[in-house]
């Protein structure tokens, strides 16, 4: 009898609660647009390198963003971009489907456009040339690392994201794009018209060089770390070894980086042991990539660097310098010490998210600082056409070091 009365009482209470409106309904399901925004938020929440999220309340930012009337996909993209903007990190960004596909093509081996690698100046936020690609319309027109791009077809670049600027410069081969630029250290502007073209990204140029009185030197120009960089570089070194190269000059000038793993594997081609790079994640946990195994050659090596040497190129240059495998000649490098990963979103777009920073084997953080070469040799802007020629002062300095036999490869004999 007691159990029956108790059960009835509980039923009556539940009914009263429902009548009084205190019995909460299940939360409404998110709309498709809200789901996409939430998907982006979750990726950053679990992956971003800074767990303070630039000292912002990341949960509160989600709550505010998801309340916005997301009536279209463009509105959702805008809300995601607004959410990411609070991180104050130009490398963590939304890639709309077309931009995401273009980025994937860029690292796979070919693209159509003007051949410029661009970035945002870490001090000013201005759109800046990292490096022009060899043989590209931008390279032929004489654009230089650190040139500031102020307008693209009369649109102020201050109004564009990094990927929007890149998208505006890409396009059908044969079409024209106009850039308004200013040289580093100058306020004077110049308009340059570039004709877009299909750009084959064979990242390696190699030849055997032997000046009078010098040893046979294998000269290798590595333009970027695309998916085929390691295999092409391997073939080049093997051919130069067969041709009798006794020393090497590895030219990383104006190499803006590319795939992190490609940079690491390239270091392993030259090193038989030692740390290549340390990575530091949001928990401060340090990971590392190591070299082990037989290198392609133990011959003396000099690496050429300049202000356009960035990201994965700096990882390679730092690994070779800190391990005593090579001397660096040229100018201070760009200074990008952050690592991004790409994440797919369900609608075909993607996120590039800064997930870690890296340090050289000597635990040097080069972000915004760059790597200082062992021998500083300037190359004036008006001498840009001398690169890779016998009158290139940086190349000549590298050749002198090798000829004097002051660089010894480190490794087991």
Question: Which residues are known to be catalytic?
Answer: 311, 322, 336
Q: Can you point out the beta strands (E) in 19-156?
A: 93-95, 110-113, 116-120, 127-132, 148-152, 155-156
Q: Can you point out the beta strands (E) in 201-269?
A: 204-209, 217-222, 247-251
Evaluate whether 88 touches 301 at the Cβ level (below 8 Å): no
Within 10 angstroms of residue 10's Cβ, the number of other Cβ atoms is 10
Place of tokens 């994201």: 161
Q: Can you point out the beta strands (E) in 37-187?
A: 93-95, 110-113, 116-120, 127-132, 148-152, 155-156, 176-182
Evaluate whether 211 touches 399 at the Cβ level (below 8 Å): yes
- Give every CB contact of residue 111 below 8 A, 6+ residues apart in sequence: 102, 105, 170, 198, 199, 201
Give the phi and the psi of residue 279 in degrees, each rounded to 5: -115, 140
Q: What's the token pair of residue 4?
A: 């029956």
Q: In angstroms, rounded to a whole number, what is the distance separating the alpha carbons of residues 123 and 338?
A: 15
Evaluate whether 326 touches 305 at the Cβ level (below 8 Å): no
Q: In angstroms, rounded to a whole number, what is the distance separating the alpha carbons of residues 218 and 300?
A: 10
Within 10 angstroms of residue 264's Cβ, the number of other Cβ atoms is 20
Q: What's the token pair of residue 304?
A: 């050429």
- Give every CB contact of residue 26 below 8 A, 6+ residues apart in sequence: none
Q: What is the DSSP string of 291-329?
A: EES--S--S-EEEEE-TT--THHHHHHHHHHHTTS-EEE
Q: In angstroms, rounded to a whole number, what is the distance separating the alpha carbons of residues 269 and 294?
A: 8
- Give every CB contact of residue 208 below 8 A, 6+ residues apart in sequence: 216, 217, 218, 219, 240, 243, 244, 245
């Amino acid at each position: 009898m007691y159990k029956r009365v108790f059960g009835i009482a509980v039923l009556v209470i539940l009914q009263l609660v429902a009548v009084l409106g205190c019995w909460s309904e299940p939360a409404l399901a998110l709309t498709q647009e809200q789901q996409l925004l939430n998907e982006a938020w979750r990726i950053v929440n679990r992956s971003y390198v800074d767990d303070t999220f630039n000292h912002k309340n990341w949960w509160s930012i989600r709550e505010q963003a998801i309340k916005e009337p997301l009536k279209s996909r463009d509105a959702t993209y805008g809300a995601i971009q607004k959410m990411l903007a609070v991180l104050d990190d130009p490398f963590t960004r939304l890639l709309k489907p077309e931009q995401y596909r273009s980025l994937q093509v860029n690292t796979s081996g070919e693209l159509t456009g003007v051949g410029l690698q661009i970035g945002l100046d870490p001090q000013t936020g201005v759109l800046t040339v990292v490096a022009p690609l060899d043989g590209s319309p931008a390279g032929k027109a004489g654009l230089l690392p650190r040139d500031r791009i102020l307008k693209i077809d009369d649109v102020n670049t201050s109004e564009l994201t990094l990927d929007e600027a890149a998208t505006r410069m890409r396009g059908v081969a044969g079409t024209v794009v106009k850039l308004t630029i200013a040289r580093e250290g100058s306020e004077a502007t110049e308009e340059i018209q570039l004709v877009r073209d299909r750009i084959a990204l064979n990242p390696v140029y190699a030849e055997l060089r032997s000046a009078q009185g010098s040893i046979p030197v294998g000269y290798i120009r590595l333009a970027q770390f695309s998916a085929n960089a390691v295999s092409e570089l391997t073939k080049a070194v093997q051919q130069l070894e067969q041709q009798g190269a006794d020393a090497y000059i590895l030219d990383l000038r104006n190499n803006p980086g590319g795939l992190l793993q490609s940079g690491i594997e390239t270091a392993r081609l030259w090193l038989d042991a030692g740390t290549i790079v340390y990575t530091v994640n949001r928990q401060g946990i340090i990971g590392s990539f190591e070299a082990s195994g037989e290198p392609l050659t133990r011959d003396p090596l000099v690496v050429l660097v300049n202000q356009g040497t960035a990201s994965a190129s700096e990882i390679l240059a730092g690994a070779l310098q800190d391990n005593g495998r090579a001397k660096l000649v040229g100018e201070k490098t760009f200074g990008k010490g952050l690592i991004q990963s790409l994440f797919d979103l369900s609608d075909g777009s993607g996120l590039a998210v800064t997930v870690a920073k890296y340090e050289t084997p000597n635990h040097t953080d080069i972000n915004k600082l760059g790597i200082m070469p062992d021998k500083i040799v300037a190359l004036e802007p008006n001498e840009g056409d001398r690169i890779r020629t016998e009158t290139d002062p940086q190349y000549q300095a590298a050749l002198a070091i090798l000829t004097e036999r002051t660089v010894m490869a480190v490794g087991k004999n």
